[in-house]
Structure 1
Amino acid sequence: MELAYKLDSYGKPAWIALTVLGFMAWWPLGLAILAFTIGSGRMFCGSRRGFGRWNGEGIEAFRNAFGGRRGFSSSGNSAFDEYREDTLRRLEEEQKEFKGFLDRLRQAKDKAEFDQFMADRRNRPAPTPPTDGAN
């Protein structure tokens, strides 16, 4: 792991160079290095807990990597910049509301399935006692 710390001190270009050299030496080695760099989050494609881009973590890392919260520089037109910020803020609010709606929908579905299970269980006929085989 000392090699990893050394390469981290040089940054992402060192990891890219190591990956290319790995592919040149032996393609499975290059593939292993590539998988390690992506899986460990060194290439902004994942996080240390797995692939965080599905949770929005990757989007935040992308935004932060490209200069600020939004990642956009000024276009020179203040009216457009204001419109863009307002639109992005509105879309983020709608996204949060939609996620909340999906959570409530999942909870309602789970509750309905559980209620159906309990109703089926209550309405199940009582088991009959075993009879003796002496006929």
Structure 2
Amino acid sequence: MTTAQAANPSWFARTEAWLDDRGKGAWIAVMVLGFIFFWPVGLALLAYMIWSKRMFSKGCRHSRRAQYHGFRAAMKPSGNTAFDAYKADTLRRLEEEQDAFEAFLQRLREAKDKQEFDAFMEDRSRAAKATNGDESLPENATPA
């Protein structure tokens, strides 16, 4: 997970965290409203609540919110300067590798686009030559 993803979670993650903050009652209320307005939504929420163990747990506050908290905690200094230096160096190296890989993918996409464009232009010029060859004959003449 990148820093941008952790800082800006999706609408689903934000909604899930909002419902978790309000507890199991909020989940049940949303599920009942889902059944009232469109029953497949209520059924999907019930299945999700059972699958994610929100239905039978004491509280809902242990889900993704704890994961985001764990990510933030991992970015704090540990107090051990050698480990913090190693962690910073490793994160920097991983970011450089990610940037290099993204640049490689961009070059790969550009090469593929250029190849497709060159093939299109070649087909177009081939079709133009074929059309020009047919138009150079008089209308009443037949090719030999």
- Relative to the length of structure 1, the TM-score reads 0.50
CA deviation after TM superposition for structure 1 residue 115, in Å: 0.6
Corresponding position of 1:91: 94
Corresponding position of 2:122: 119
Contact persistence 2:31–2:45 (CA under 8 A)? no
Q: Distance in 1 between matches of 2:105 and 2:99?
A: 10
Q: What pairs with 1:31-50 in structure 2 (closer than 5 Å)?
A: 31=44
Q: Using the TM superposition, name which of 120-129 and 17-26 deviates more.
A: 17-26
CA RMSD of aligned residues (A): 3.9
After the TM superposition, list the runs of 4 or more consecutive aligned residues in structure 1 that deviate by more than 6 angstroms. Answer: none
Higher relative contact order (CA 8 A, sep 6+): 2
Q: Deviations over 1:13-43 (max 9, x none)?
A: 1276422344468473374698xxxxxxxx9
Structure 1 unaligned spans of 5+: 1-7, 35-42, 45-61
Amino acid at match of 2:90: T
| Higher normalized helix content (fraction of residues) | 2
Identity of aligned residues (%): 37
Q: 1:92 to 1:16 in 2, by over 3 A?
A: farther
Structure 2 unaligned spans of 5+: 1-14, 49-62
Q: Secondary structure at the match of 1:95?
A: helix
Count, aligned residues: 96
Q: Distance in 2 between matches of 1:99 and 1:120?
A: 31
Q: Distance in 2 between matches of 1:74 and 1:100?
A: 31
Corresponding position of 1:38: none
Q: Distance in 1 between matches of 2:24 and 2:43?
A: 10
Corresponding position of 2:28: 20
- The higher radius of gyration belongs to 2
| Aligned with residue 42 of structure 2, among 9, 29, 47 | 29
Q: What pairs with 1:32-111 in structure 2 (closer than 5 Å)?
A: 65-66=69-70, 68=72, 71-111=74-114
Contact persistence 2:78–2:84 (CA under 8 A)? yes
Q: Secondary structure at the match of 1:112?
A: helix
